Structure 1
Amino acid sequence: MPIGLYRTTPDGRILDVNEAMVHMLRYPDKETLLQESVINLYVSANTRDDWKNQLSLRDEIYRLEVRLRRYDGTEIWAEDVARAVRDEQGDILFYDGSLQDITDRKEAEEALKRREYELQTIISHLPEGVLLLDGDHHIVMANPAAQKVLNLLVNEAQPKLELLGDTPLEVLENEAGQPWKEIKPADDKGSEMVFEATAVSLPGDAEKSHIGCIIVLRDVTEERQRQQYQAAQERLATVGQMAAGIAHDFNNIMAAVVLYAQLIRRTETLSPRYQRYITTIEEQANRAAELTRQMLDFSRRSVLSRQEMDILPFLKEIYKLLERTLPENINLHLEYDEEKLIINVDPTRFQQILMNLALNARDAMPQGGDLTIKASRLVVKQQTAAPMPNMPPGNWLMLTVQDTGQGIPEDHLPRIFEPFFTTKGPDRGTGLGLSQVYGIVKQHEGYIDVSSKVGVGTTFIIYLPISEFQESILLPAPTQKMFEGHGELILVIEDNVPARLALCEVLENAGYKTLAAGNGRDALTLFDESTQKISLVLSDL
């Protein structure tokens, strides 16, 4: 590329230039350029002043990149290499210098800087952590997300990066380009967090085959929690289906026992001794029925009697009940933020939730402690993260039951809602209490969360939708009196023979007539062939 040569005076006159200079600045001819003041060639007048000051302080050549204005008004970048020519007294006579057009290079540099800035901006705002390491594993660059992860995964005392959490860096380098590798903190710092990392090797040249690597880190803690939550939900749903089937069959068996016990009790000649036997049979049958109800609650197959209910008066009544029930060494606390929180629930089932959790807390505090029940409103918005996976936006009752008991071991937490899982000794529960709580909450379209630390205590948080209705509607308790019949015909459909026979006998003793069928097909035949009007059909669904 041609180089322009010039000679100028300190006052800005141009004494001489070569043709390359004229062509570079796009002047029509040399004479026109020589008539120009050199000051007018600079885009910034300050550049000329700084240039003169630098040359006045030195005798050697001075290099400077300057922005110049051409004759047609366009601008270029030029490298100016100049020196001051002095007289015998040291005064500057003129400046001799050269100009080289470096516009293409400067534009390329500016474009590179823009790309670097854009890339740095993107990397800085990535949710994943990005690390650049040299060949000796020293950190060359780390974006903000990587800095946060490094605080949890790297010992500050390490002079260079040898370990990422519990994983040697060599393992990542050897598996460069492979799928993500799971990494966990090596100590207690962030012990509940899970990360994934992958590495990309930076190839070198002939002298050095490897000059470093790029490591990408991402926090997958919430993703793992969602996966575990989903797996637990699926496992509990499967167990719930099994529990529902068992409860159904068990109910059929116990129905015959209860019905025949009731028939025997009606025997007028029954001695007191056999009356006691019957009482024992009924009591044990009721215990079995309660067990079945708990299993149905867990499997979400219970029949609910839901109504709009103000939670706070209800909690105050439960508080009084627990005060009489719990040992004196347990301090009971009730806290609430609002005076009215209406939810749509089955009051009996809701009471069962609180009683089960309170009794669990009692068993966890044999030496006494604090039991706190707190009710508050939680507003989940569309744009904010919900406390539970798949929890829709809206107003929620957040019911917290917290104790200061022994706590639950971490390896037990994933199983505490499974039926019959218990850490208590023999004769201290069936292991259905928490599974019943879980099922009732789910049947009310709610969510339940638990956190615990051994030696500190356990906290259960239940989320239930707050009702759109703002008034509590208390329904009267249903009566359980059996109406006497007057010869009405009832069609009984029950596949369990003992239960079917017992039910028919109870109905007939109450004044009804019965037709019995073991399945739907037989029932339809009886229905069509019956000469008497069938007033009621009782069917085991």
Structure 2
Amino acid sequence: MEIPVELLHWWRRIRMIWAVPLLLTVFLLTVSRSNFLLFHTLAEFFCSLVGIMMCVVAWNTHAFSRNHFLMFLGVGYFWVGCIDIVHTLVYRGMGIIDLACANPATQLWLVARYFGALILLSAPLFLARWAWRMPTFVLLGALATFFTALVMNGHFPDAFVEGSGLTRFKVTSEFVIVGLLLAAMAHLYYRRALVPSNVMRLIAASIVLTIVSEMAFVTYVDVYDFSLIVGHVFKFLAYWLLFVAIVRTTLTEPYQMMARGSSTYDAIPLATVVVDREGFVSHVNRAACHEARCNETDILGRLCHNLFHPREASADDCPVCAGIRKGEAISGLEVSFADTDIWREFTLSPINAPIGLTGMVQVSIDITERKKAEIALRHNMALLAEAERIAKLGNWEWNIASDRLTLSEEACRIFGWDKDENDVTWESVMAAVHPEDRSIVDFHIKAYLRGEMECDFEYRIVRHGGAERLVREKAVVSLDTNGTPVRMVGTIHDITEITAFQKHMVGSQRLEIMSSMAAGVVHEINNLIGIISGYVGLARMVLGEENGKDYAAVPGYLDNANAAIEQASEITQELMMFSRQTAISVVSVSVGNLIEHVSKLIFPILGNGIVLEIDVERKDAAISVDRRYFSQAIINLVANACHAMPGGGKLRIACYQVINAGAAFQRHPSLRRGHLMAIQISDTGTGMDEKTMARIFEPFFTTKGEGDGTGLGLSVAYGLIEQMGGAIEVESRLGSGATFTIILPCEVPA
């Protein structure tokens, strides 16, 4: 028949607890049959030895176990054992301290029993509070010495009278002691939640055996009675159970647990140290040994600060030691080791027991490389911030879901905001946009989020003090798995000064061009004046001749002079228009009416063989232009097209709404955001090559012969359309005609 495993384990535990005391009990009983005094001496010395062993074990393991309850028991039973030794030495018949009677030995017995019962009664108090080892040892020692001195000096009540036996005080005291032991058991049961169940059972069994022992000492008449043998046996067994409780709690089970957990600790790759409240090491793992460059035996019991904390700071000034002393949980405490340029991050976790905090678990990790990276990152961030400040180029991030904006320091500076301002939202940004430009921003962002265009546009902002700034925005968007925009990041560039400088440079370039053109213009006009002067001179010569001369040539001379005058006037008019810098006056007109008006103006300049075709898609759309200058620009473009078709051809004027507005905005960032209208002027003329197209809008650039054009027509048209908020594009191939496209913002009725 196979024995159950549980039964085998139970038998091993029982054998380990009872084997030694039962063997000693058999030995003592054997001795008692032949020599009671030897039995008594051995029994008392065995009990005293067990009591002293309790103290030695509890005292030396207290730094690791922090079990103040068992430490108090061990120290208390040390002094109980000492009193028992004195009791043994004065026992009648020993002859070591001859007091000529049995009363002192019995009195010392009562002192020891009272002392032990009071120790058991008060010990559970230290399940939830501290008991300092040395003060406890001294105090209990003083009490034991005091009561022993009372007995030895005859100031303690009699407990035994020769011939009559036990006194009433002795018998009553035994019952009082039993009462104290029962109270101790009740006290221990009351605090049972703070005591491991196996320890609870051992101490309770010890108290029961002590009570049985006390009852055996109530009935004897002679100090050599058999009841004393029974009482001493039970007393020894009671002591042994207390000893087992202390050893099991402070040595056996903790070290078994440590043995089981050792592999777990060593599996942790971080340096892990267990310390007590004073900072002394009680356990380390392999990583901690490697960090300290010591063996485990060289680390245990040493001050943690001297091995694992910065050496340049004392334990009183060390932030990690301060956390250990306070018993606070600390996470992410970064500490610099100045002497080695090493950084470590410490984590402290309290070890809480029923009696309170017993120690701390310290975990540290080398973060030197991370700190170096952080320092380099901070340096780079500072450089970036300085570069942004110099360039007036900030960056931002917009969490679309939460509507939270994060702006760089320079971005905040551009808006005139404090960097520490919180709760920056899209609404607060829109509130800072110039009222006239909010529609531009809204249109562009929405169109970009729909994927219709790139995010690159300009608008004005108004700071708190009322100052206006012109900024340029660029951004990209991040999408989730469903294609929904969730995040935008971008830049904001303050281009106020750049734009002002560009305008200044344009004006300077215009003056420079005008200066460089002056000689050519003067030369052209001087030639025309020479022509005029020549023809007028001829007319005067003819008219000055005698009557009878033929005057038929005079009208021709005057016509040629008039043509030269008109050409000179054309040059001066176009030059004035090119150099004009005054603001134009725009009005909203319908596309249909405007094209009808322009077609009447261009009809006289159409050459023979040129067919005009007009196609207006949205006649009800409205554009804002200066009618006079817009007509002039169209006339210049049409005139240029007609010159490209000397043998005739087709001239087509088409108006339509631009569908892919995003692409147009990318090509021409200055276009006002919104709907766009395109006005195309196409011809079937000679066309242009790429080199010619690259210079087609330059002032005084012409493909015509000398004296056959000023070279200002297309340049004037370009400038006029740009002033009206539009743009001009050209497409052409040599031999395939040319197409000029005017793009203007428009309003389209719903």
Assess same fold via TM > 0.5: no
TM-score by length of 2: 0.28
Which is bigger in relative contact order (C-alpha 8 A, separation at least 6)?
A: 1
Higher helix share: 2
Which structure: larger Rg? 2
Higher strand share: 1
